[in-house]
Amino acid sequence: MILLCACKKNVTEAFFEYDFLDDRVIEQGYTIYHSAYIDQPYILKLSANNWLCAFTKSDNKEGGVGTTIGISFSKDKGKTWSFSQVLEQPSGPSASYAIPYLTSFGRIYVFYGYNEDNITVSNSYSSRSDQVNKLCYKFSDDNGISWSGRQKLEIPVSAIDLNNEWQGRHQMFWSICKPVSANSEMYFAFTKIGNFSTFIGEGWIAKCANINTEPDASKLNWSFFPSSAKGIRTESMGYIQEEHNIVPLNNGNFYCVYRTAKGYPAESYSKDGCKTWDRPVYAKYDNGYLIKNPRACTRVFKCANGKYLLWFHNNSTTWFGYRNPAWISGGIEKNGIIKWSQPEILLYSRDTSSKNSVSYPDLIEDSGDYYISETQKEQARIHKIQKGLIEDLWGQGEKKELIKNGLISHVTNFDSLNNTSFGTGSANWNGFTIELAFNLNSLNNQVILSTKNSSGNYAEVSVTDNGALALNLFRNNSSIYSFTANLNLKENKQNTVTIAMDDKSRIITIMLNGNLYDGGNADAFGWKRVPFNINYDIFNSPFFTTNFAGRMKRVKVYNRYLSTSEQVSNYYSN
């Protein structure tokens, strides 16, 4: 039986209403499926416009009994979905964390964990029936209409298994890695878990050499890596090292990324077909700054053009929260290493409750367009992503042009006293961006830019002690917003600062000398949410530079938010 899913684009949900359309709004995606629990909505493009989605679902809760694998179909690039069937009966052992794969001859495989012995494990904060598993799979030769019986794949017992509660008689693992192809072979990563009380994890790779050519599933040729007794991990990153996922590189090597509980994702490279892996290190942007991510899924995708995308959450909290917004970085491979761009907001909700804390994405390319699926554990959705946003990530740093769209003031002829006034009024504010280039003779507290209207509403950009920079907004002479970034501004050198406020996501960022501020070691966040009571009449009066201890060299004011890539382009255009 096929049930049609109500999948209209949700412009209004819960208590949040949006009076605008934005492809980045989580609630405005198309619903794939909703349930008490739904996870990992991973999609296969079977043909043009014809998609299959495999996901984990339950009418209970995450990790609870009744968990199984659902299959849905879309024939219109994700706008509507039909729920078809489950691969295992909810009344039986839990089946979870499906990862689908399409062979070169059109067979669909779905790999998943199956709790054959109905074992429940508990620790100080959870009790689950989806961790102790057998690695199983089913396949379909008719585009997902009918499926084979359950097949079992034995995972070799390693040291981490021998140290679990059952001394290796049972194994704990799961996978968030959609299988990838390289040299006609298939690979996917999974995470083994040791003792459940500590949740120590490490990464392993499954390889099937002949899955794309062998129709007899009993003759599939499997290997498991690394070839040592220890999986992908390093002791310096603590117990929590999990959700490993991989992509093949253009030079024949492999790249692995995974989450930790240290506030940063880890990465590792293999130069011998996944047999051995470099010691993991924290992932970095091309500018050398560490990429920040909480204990949340970090997914890497390789696109058809040979370039890469990285999904993460751009904060260094160390628990499961703060998954809204989702950020994305673009990767270019150079000498066998992925160079990651500075990030952009990919998806967001103004509702900051856990109901819109999204994770476990998948990437689909169809007819040159990019789509991202995600789940907030009760509703899975699909989003068409702005192509320009992604392409700008890949070109970040190469484009060095002045951004003119939205530029309403560009002043360079400041007098010797700095006290220069210039108009910035706009009839159509859509966020704002202010770029300042200045020299400082002192790092003492001082206002360097200000604007004030006749109602007593004003904004100030100030240098504070120790080289920090603050944006303060006032209404009726009372502070309504303050954002201080510990930028480590320099004396007697030019500092170029860009403050950008995205009116739609209500998120503000700060960039120093072409580098997006990430909070450094002092703050888990480099960005901050802006309250809804900010009115742009603050900026409709002239700006003026003050007589601070230094010299203003340049001011640009935009009546819109500039993306990270646009800010970088602006910086290098000067």
CA 386 to centroid of chain Cα atoms: 15
Alpha carbon dihedral 451, 468, 282, 196, in 10-degree steps, equals -90
List the structure tokens of 339: 């160079």
End-to-end CA distance of the chain: 62
pLDDT at 2 over 70: no
What the chain holds in terms of domains, given with CATH numbers, is 3-394 (2.120.10.10), 407-573 (2.60.120.200)
Taking only the tens place, the pLDDT of each residue in 23-58 is 999 999 999 999 999 999 999 999 878 999 999 999
Give residue 9's pLDDT. 45
Taking only the tens place, the pLDDT of each residue in 448-469 is 999 988 778 889 999 998 899 9
Three-state DSSP class for 468? strand
Strands of 30-34's sheet in order across: 30-34, 379-385, 369-375, 359-366
- The DSSP H or E segment spanning 362 is strand 359-366
Question: How much of the chain, in percent, has pLDDT values that exceed 70?
Answer: 96
Taking only the tens place, the pLDDT of each residue in 269-325 is 999 999 999 999 999 999 999 999 999 999 999 999 999 999 999 999 999 889 999
Q: What is the b/e burial string over 108-140, where b = at least 16 CB atoms within 10 angstroms of the residue's CB? A: bbbbbbbbbeebebeeeeeebbbbbbbbbbbbb
321 near 272, Cβ under 8 Å? no
Mean pLDDT of the chain, nearest integer: 92
466 near 443, Cβ under 8 Å? yes
207 near 222, Cβ under 8 Å? yes
| Beta-carbon-side half-sphere exposure of residue 65 (alpha carbons within 13 Å) | 7
Mean pLDDT across the stretch 238-258? 98
